[in-house]
Amino acid sequence: MDATLASIVAAASPLVYAVVGETIAEKAGVINLSLDGSIMLSAMAGFATAYTSGSVLLGFVAAMLVSMAVALLIAFASIELRLNQIAVGFVLTLLCADLASFLGNPYVGQRVAGVPPLAIPGLRDIPFLGTVLFEHNLSVYGSFLVIFAAYFFIFHTRRGLELQGVGERPEAAHARGVRVNLLRYVYTVVGGSLCGIAGAAFSLDVLLGWREGRTQNYGWIALAIVIFGGWHPVRGATGAYLFGALSVVALKLQPHWPDLSQILPITPFALMIFALLLVSQDWLRRLADRFPRWRRLLSGDSPSAIGTAFWRD
Amino acid sequence: MSLELRGIHKRYGAVRATDGVDLRLEAGAIHGLLGENGAGKSTLMKVLSGFVVPDAGEVLLDGKAVPLGSTRAAIRAGIGMLHQDPLVFLPFTVLDNFLLGSGRRVDRAAAAGELERIGAQFGFQFDPSAPARSLTVGERQQLEITRLLWLGARVLILDEPTTGISASQQERLFSALRVLAGQGMIVAFVSHKLEEVEALCQTVSVMRRGKVVGEASLPCPTEQLVEMMFGRVVAPPQKEGVALGEPVLSLERVQLEDRVAAAEYSLTVRAGEVIGLAGLEGSGQRPFLRTCAGLARPAEGVLAVGERDLSTGRHHDFLEAGVHFLPAGRLEEGLISGLTITEHFLLAARAKGLRIDWGAAEAAAEKRIAANLIVGTPASTADELSGGNQQRLLLALMPPDVRLLLMEHPTRGLDLESADWVWRQLLERSRRGTAIVFASADLDELLRYSDRILVFFAGKVLREVRAADTSGEELGYLIGGKVAP
Amino acid sequence: MTVPPVVRRVANVLLPVATALALGVLLLISADAPPLEALRLILDGALGSAGGLSSTLMVWVPLVLAAAGLVVTFGAGLWNIGIEGQLVMGAVSGALVARTVHGPSGLVIPLVALAGMLGGMLWGLLVGVLRTSGRVNEIFGGLGLDFVATGLVVYLVIGPWKRVGSASTSGTDLFPRDAWLPGTGSLTASWVALALAAAAVIVVYFLMRGTYFGLRLRAVGRNPRSAFLMGISTNRYLLAAFAVCGTLAGLGGALHATGFHHKLVPSVSGGYGFLGILVVLLAGFRATWIAPIALFFAIISVGSTQLQLRLQLDSALGGVLQGVLVLFTLLAGGWQLRRAYRTRRGSEGG
C-alpha cells in the first residue's frame, strides 16, 4: 500500500509542477494555454540535452529555458499586442507539440540515466510516511517544496498579495503603484519555468525517454486541475495527486479487464470533466460562506481579471 | 505647501479631455473642482495622481516637479486619489486591502492597529477580516482615505465622493476633510454638484469642455458658478401632472429570490406614474428592479403586469407583456460592443424572418439616428459612441408601446444636455401612458421627476413618500436609515 | 511612411508566409535535410500525382467542414475544442451505417452522411449542455469529450469491430463497397464530398452574414447579457451553434471515413478539428477565406507525409509550418493594430 502511494506521489510530480506553475501565472491574470505543447517541447529539449551532454541537470535547465521562452511569447502577445490569450496559447500548443515531434525524431528510443534516487536518511525510516514521501529523488522533493513555497508566497507575503491584486483588479493595483504589466511578465515566465521543470521531470524521471505524445496530454489536465484547484496551489496539488491516484488505479485494473485495457488509461481524463462539473456548482461557495476561515481554500473563484489585458488609458 | 498644474493636455482620440489646464492648489483650504459630467475633471485628477499619462504639461509640488504618468512617483510625492468607484479588491479582506501595495515591511497585527488608530480620528470603524465586498461604498471610501493617510499623503484628491453615500456618511466625510485641511493638507474636491461644493469648499475652479473657465472664492453667488459651469441659463424639463391610468404593475407581498432581508414588497404602479427608488448602493433596489423585469423570480407573492400574473414568468414573457428594462451598464448590459447601430436596430425589432435586407435596414437606421439626434452613422459601433449618444441609442431601441419602463440610473455619467434630453423623452412617454420605475443616486433627479419615492435601506422599503412632500435633506438621511434631525 | 493600403494588405499575407517558409528551411537545415528538396517533395506529394491530389482534396473536405462549423461557434463566442470529438463521432456513426446497412450506393451513402451529421450533432450538443446547464467551460468539456470519443474508437477498432482474424490498431475491415464514395474521373476523390463541403461553406457564409440567426448569434457571442435583455434566448443560441458545428464536423468525419480511409481507424479525425481552428484563426473568424486557406493547409498536411517516407523526417514539420504561419499572422496583426493606435494618438497632436 505504501509502495503504491509512493508511486502515485512520484508519478504525479510533473503534474504538480505544471499545476502550481500555471496557478501562479493565472493568479496574475495570464492564461498559458500552450501548456501541453510547451511541456512536450521542454520534455524533448530536456531529454535531448541530457542525452547529448550527459548531464541531467543541464537537461532540466534546458527544459526550463524552453518553457520560459514560450511563456514570454505568450505574455508579450497578450500584454504588448493585446491579442487574445486563448488564441495565441492554442496556436502555440499545437506548434510546440509539432516542433517537439520534429526535432525530437533523432532521440526516439535513446536512453539516458535519469534523475538519481536520493532517499533522505533518517526521515525515510518513519513508518509508512517514510516510504511514501522520503524515498524519492530531487525532482520529486522539489515538487513538494514548490507547493509550499507557492502557497506561502501567494498568501503570506506582501509581494504575493500584490500578485493577487494584479490578477483580481489591475486598475486598483495600478492606482497603488504596483507595476501591473511588469509583474504579469514576471509571473507568467515563472509559471513557464515550473512547466519546463514538469517537462523534464517527465522525460528524465517519471517516464524516461522521448517519443511523440510522451507527455500524454498532461498539459491539458494541468489546466483543468488549476480550475479544479480554485487557483489555490495546495488544492491544485491535491487535484494532481488525485489524478495520479486515478491513473494508478486504472493501470492496476488493466489485467483484470483486458477488454477495456485500451480505454482504461483514458478514464481519468473523462473523469476530469465530471470533476469540473462538480466544482462549478454552488455548493462550494455556500460551504465557503459557512466557514469563512476556510474561504481561501474552498471558494474557487477565478481571478476576476483573468485573460484580460490591462492598459492605463 | 502648494500644488501647481501647468499646461496639462490629454487627448483620447479626437476628444480633448483636458485642453491646456493650469491650476493652483494651496494647503489649508479645501479646493473645489466643479464642472458637469464630461468636463474633464476626472481626467485632470487622474493625471495628477499618475494614473494616466498626459500628452503635455507638468505638475509641481512646492516648486519641485513630480514625475508624470507614474502612480509610484505620485504616491512617493504624497499625492493620493480617491476614485469615484473606490478601487478596492472586493474578494480580499479589509486588512489585505489596507496593506496591498504599501511596500512596507509591517506585520499584520501592527497594520491592523494602525488601521484602527488612523480611522478612529475620523470616526471610521473597520472589521479587518471582513471581505471588502461587504462594505458599502461609503465605507470603502473611508478605507481608502485611511490607507492614503497611512501612506503619508499630503495631497488628497476626491473624485465625486458623494455619489452613493448616505447623508450621515457624507457628514462624516466632510468633517474629516475639514480636519485634514486644517492640518495643512491640500484637499481637492471634484464634483458636479453645486450645493456640495458651496457647502464644503473655500475656493473653486470651474471646468467646462476641458478648460478651466473661471475661479472663485466661496461664498459667491450661485448664478456666477452656474454661468461658469454651463455658459448659459439652465432649465431642466418640467414635469406636469398626468392623469393616472390602470394599474400596470402590482406586487403583492412579493419576496425576492435571495430573501436576504425577509422583506416583503407590496406596490401598485399605474399607467403614467413615475416611481423613484432611492437608496444607497446595495440596499435592494437592484434586485427589486430586476425582479420586476422578470430577470429574477419572486420566491413568494404575486407579481402581475396589467392583468397577467407573471409570478413564474421569464424575462421574455415580461418583454411580451410590454415591460422594458434599461440597465445601468450601457456597454456591459445594454448595448453590444462591436455591433453597428444598424445591427442594434435589427436586433431590437425582433423580426421573425430569415433573411436580412441590409439596404433597407441601413436606410431605416439612418432615419432613426436623425430622429433621435444620435451623433453617429449606421455603421458606427456602439463602443464608438459617447455616453450620451449611447443612452440616446438605448432609448431609441425601446419599442414604441412600452407599458412599464424599468431603469437603473437613467442619467449616470451623462452631461447635463444629454440628461435633460433623456428626461424629455421619458416624460413624453409617461404622458402617453407608460409607467416608469427608476432607481437613482441623484436625489435631485428623484425629487424632480418622481410622483412617489420608495426609500430602500438594508433590503427593505423603509419609507414611501410623495416627492412633493419631501426634501433632498430628508431623503439624504432616509437613505442612510435615519430620520432627519 | 505612407504605404498604399493594397500593398500593405498583400504584405500582411506574404510576410507571415515568408517567415513560415524561412523557419521551415531553418528547421530542415538543422535536421540535416536538403530544404529545397523537402519543399519540393511536399508540393509534389500533395499535387504531383492523381493519388496525391485525391488525398489532398479528401483531406480538404473534413478540414473545411470543421472550419465552417467553427465559424459558427466562434461567432457565438465559443472555443469549440471539442471539434475533434465531433469529427470522430461523425465517423463512428457513419461507420455504423456503412457496416450495417446494405443496399444501393444511392441509398447507403446519403444515410451514412446523415448518420455522420447526427452523431456529430449530438456530440456537439453534449458539450453545449455541459456548458449551459453544468457551467463547465466548453474548452474542458470539449477536451474531455474528445478523449472519450478517441477512447470509444479505440475500443471499437480492437473490440466489437475488430478485423477478421486479429485485432489491429490499423483499423477495422474495409467498409462494404456500396458505402464507398464514388470517385471523380481518374481521381479517387469524391465529387459528392467536395460538393457537400463547398455547399457548407456557402451556407455558413450566408447564415452568419445574411440571416437574423447569424446576427443574433453574433450578438450572443459578443455580449450575452445584453443579448438576453434584448430578448434573445442565449442558451438556445449557444446550443444551436454547437449543434450546427457538430453537424458539419460529423459530416466531415463520416465523409473522410468512407471517402478516404474506407474504414474506421483510430486516428480518423486526423487532427483536422484542431487544424480547422487554425484555419479559422487565419481567416479572421469569417467564412470568406476558409476554403482556400484550408486547401493550403491540406496541401501541407498531405505533402509532409512524404517527408517521413522519403527523407525519414517527422511529418510534424507540416504542423510546424502551419502553426508558425498562424502565429506570425496573429502577431503581425496585433503589431499593426498597436502601431496604428499609437500613430493615431500621435498625429492628432500639437
Measure in Å the smallest separation between the Cα of B144 and chain A Cα atoms.
11
Percent helix, strand and coil across chain C, each rounded to 5?
75, 0, 25
- Model confidence at B280, pLDDT cuts 50, 70, 90, reads confident
Q: B222 with B185, same domain?
A: yes
**CB C204, CB C72: distance < 8 Å:** yes
Question: Is A129 among the domain residues?
Answer: yes
Q: What is the pLDDT of residues B83-119, one digit of tens each?
A: 988 999 999 999 999 999 887 777 889 999 999 999 9
Q: B277 with B414, same domain?
A: yes
Q: Does B314 touch chain C (CB under 8 A)?
A: no
Question: Is B459 among the domain residues?
Answer: yes
Q: Which of B451, B453, B456, B448 is nearest to B423 (CA)?
A: B448
Domain carrying residue B283: 247-322+399-478
Q: Which long-range contacts (CB under 8 A, 24 or more apart) does B20-24 make?
A: B20/B57, B20/B211, B21/B57, B21/B207, B21/B210, B21/B211, B21/B212, B22/B212, B23/B205, B23/B212
CATH (domain of B52): 3.40.50.300
- Model confidence at B141, pLDDT cuts 50, 70, 90, reads very high
Q: B162 with B300, same domain?
A: no
Contacts of C210 in chain B (CB under 8 A): 355-356, 358
Question: Is A102 among the domain residues?
Answer: yes
- Model confidence at C350, pLDDT cuts 50, 70, 90, reads very low
**Final residue of a domain: which of B203, B230, B257?**
B230
Q: B50 with B158, same domain?
A: yes
Residue A17, pLDDT score = 96
DSSP helix/strand/coil, A64: helix
CA angle B126–B128–B134, rounded 5-degree value: 70
Residue contact C229–B325, C-beta within 8 A: yes
CA distance C126 to A277: 13
Q: Does A99 touch chain C (CB under 8 A)?
A: yes
- Residue A313 reports pLDDT greater than 70: no
Measure in Å the smallest separation between the Cα of C9 and chain B Cα atoms.
22
Domain boundaries, chain C: 61-288
Chains in contact with C, counting 3 or more C-beta pairs less than 8 Å apart as contact: A, B
Q: Which of C128, C132, C154 is nearest to C142 (CA)?
A: C128
What number of CA atoms fall less than 13 Å from residue C241's CA on the CB side?
Answer: 32
Residue C1, pLDDT score = 58
Q: B193 with B271, same domain?
A: no
DSSP helix/strand/coil, C211: strand
Q: Which of A209-223, B324-338, C262-276 has the highest mean pLDDT?
A: B324-338
Contacts of A168 in chain B (CB under 8 A): 89-92
Residue C349, pLDDT score = 41
Question: Is B309 among the domain residues?
Answer: yes
| 178-207 in chain A: CB under 8 A from chain B | 178-179
% of chain C with per-residue pLDDT over 90: 50
Three-state SS across chain B? Answer: CEEEEEEEEEEECCEEEEEEEEEEEECCCEEEEECCCCCCHHHHHHHHCCCCCCCEEEEEECCEECCCCCHHHHHHHCEEEECCCCCCCCCCEHHHHHHCCCCCCCCHHHHHHHHHHHHHCCCCCCCCCCEHHHCCHHHHHHHHHHHHHHCCCCEEEEECCCCCCCHHHHHHHHHHHHHHHHCCCEEEEEECCHHHHHHHCCEEEEEECCEEEEEEECCCCHHHHHHHHHCCCCCCCCCCCCCCCCEEEEEEEEECCCCCCCCCEEEEEECCCEEEEECCCCCCHHHHHHHHCCCCCCCEEEEEECCEECCCCCHHHHHHCCEEEECCCHHHHHCCCCCEHHHHHHHHHCCCCCECCHHHHHHHHHHHHHHCCCCCCCCCEHHHCCHHHHHHHHHHCCCCCCCEEEEECCCCCCCHHHHHHHHHHHHHHHHCCCEEEEECCCHHHHHHHCCEEEEEECCEEEEEEEHHHCCHHHHHHHCCCCCCC
For the stretch C137-146, what's the b/e string if a residue is b when 16 or more beta carbons lie within 10 angstroms of its beta carbon?
A: bbbbbbbbbb
Residue contact A90–C277, C-beta within 8 A: yes
- Residue C243 reports pLDDT greater than 70: yes
CA distance A66 to A183: 20
- Tell me what the mean pLDDT of segment A99-120 comes to: 84
Contacts of A266 in chain C (CB under 8 A): 147-148, 150-151, 154
Residue contact A86–C139, C-beta within 8 A: yes
Measure in Å the smallest separation between the Cα of A266 and chain C Cα atoms.
6
Query: Which three cell numbers mark A8?
Result: 502515485
- Model confidence at B233, pLDDT cuts 50, 70, 90, reads low
With CA atoms as reference, the chain B residue closest to C231 would be B316
Q: B313 with B437, same domain?
A: yes
Residue A109, pLDDT score = 83
Domain carrying residue A198: 2-298
Number of H helices, E strands in chain C: 13, 0
Query: Which three cell numbers mark A139?
Result: 525532482
With CA atoms as reference, the chain A residue closest to B98 would be A176
* Nearest Cβ partner for B336 among C213, C227, C344: C227
Q: What is the pLDDT of residues B204-228, one digit of tens each?
A: 999 988 899 989 988 888 888 888 8
CA B242 to each of CA A186, B399, B448, B468: distance values in angstroms, whole numbers, following the listed order: 63, 21, 14, 14
Q: How many domains does chain B have?
A: 2
Q: B37 with B164, same domain?
A: yes
CA C284 to each of CA B10, B176, C84: distance values in angstroms, whole numbers, following the listed order: 34, 55, 21
Question: Is B221 among the domain residues?
Answer: yes
- The residue among A312 and C283 whose pLDDT is bigger is C283
For chain B, give the mean pLDDT.
89
CA distance B190 to B214: 15
Question: Phi then psi for B404, rounded to 5 degrees?
Answer: -135, 125
CATH (domain of A212): 1.10.3470
- Residue B144 reports pLDDT greater than 80: yes
Q: Which of B79, B74, B76 is nearest to B188 (CA)?
A: B79
Q: Kind and range of the H or E element at C222?
A: helix C212-222
Question: Is B241 among the domain residues?
Answer: no
Q: Does A312 touch chain B (CB under 8 A)?
A: yes
Q: B6 with B113, same domain?
A: yes
- Residue B260 reports pLDDT greater than 70: no
% of chain A with per-residue pLDDT over 90: 50
Contacts of C314 in chain A (CB under 8 A): 101-102, 104-105, 212
- Tell me what the mean pLDDT of segment B1-11 comes to: 91
Contacts of C136 in chain A (CB under 8 A): 273, 276-277, 280
Q: Which of A80-94, C4-18, C256-270 has the highest mean pLDDT?
A: A80-94
**CB A240, CB A275: distance < 8 Å:** no
Residue C348, pLDDT score = 46
* Nearest Cβ partner for C230 among B55, B348, B353: B348
Q: How many domains does chain A have?
A: 1
Q: B141 with B271, same domain?
A: no
- The residue among A98 and A216 whose pLDDT is bigger is A98
**Final residue of a domain: which of B230, B256, B291?**
B230
* ipTM of the complex, rounded to two decimals: 0.91
For the stretch B261-286, what's the b/e string if a residue is b when 16 or more beta carbons lie within 10 angstroms of its beta carbon?
A: eebebebebbbbbbbbbbbbbbbbbb
Q: Which of A213, A18, A204, A244 is nearest to A101 (CA)?
A: A213
Q: B314 with B180, same domain?
A: no
Residue C255, pLDDT score = 93
- Tell me what the mean pLDDT of segment C206-222 comes to: 95
pTM for the model stands at 0.91
Cα A282–chain centre separation? 26
